[in-house]
Amino acid sequence: MQQKSPSDEKRNRYVCDNGNGSDNDPVKDYKIFPVAVKSSDILSRILTDRLYLIRGEIGEISQQIDERQRLKRSLDSEIEQKVCDVQNIIYFMELDMCNRIDKSRRRSLLEQQIGELYKEKRQGELSCWQDTVMLQRELRKAEKELRSSTLDLWMVRFLS
């Protein structure tokens, strides 16, 4: 049977032997011999994989928070632009010397529209805050899990 390097032992749990020392042909009938792998190596590998997944989850949550904040800024900018446009219409309407009654009613509708835009902005801010709080809660949970898993990994490595 050929000697395997320690890195091969970590990747392969079993070594095949067809009796002549060659393990290159996977089709032939081989005897399977278990390779001695420390349980701490397996546990260490599992914990390392877990850390990798948790770090990925933390990265995804952080990206979601950033994306939500970017979306909020974009919507706020859009609403502010609409408010500015309506206020400009009101201003130019005041300069016009047309019918006072029609102007008053139109101004009232435009001011109502501004109020609705600000209401939409407040609802967007509330929604953003709620989404961000939920994501930050998930982020804290994942960071806590990361610390715990990191500690577990260090303990396994220290004790082995």
For the segment 93-137, what is each residue's pLDDT rounded down to a tens digit?
Answer: 777 666 666 777 888 888 999 999 999 999 999 999 999 999 999
Report how far Cα 45 is from the mean position of its chain's Cα atoms: 24
pTM for this prediction: 0.63
Which of residues 4 and 154 earns the better pLDDT score? 154
- Buried (b) or exposed (e) across 91-126, using 16+ Cβ within 10 A? eeeeeeeeeeeeeeeeeeebeebbeebeeebeebee
For the chain, the domains span 1-37, 39-159
User: Residue 132 to residues 57, 58, 98: CA-CA distances in angstroms?
Assistant: 16, 14, 49
Q: Would you state the pLDDT for residue 45?
A: 85
What is the CATH class of 39-159?
A: mainly alpha
Which of residues 155 and 4 earns the better pLDDT score? 155
Q: Would you state the pLDDT for residue 30?
A: 43
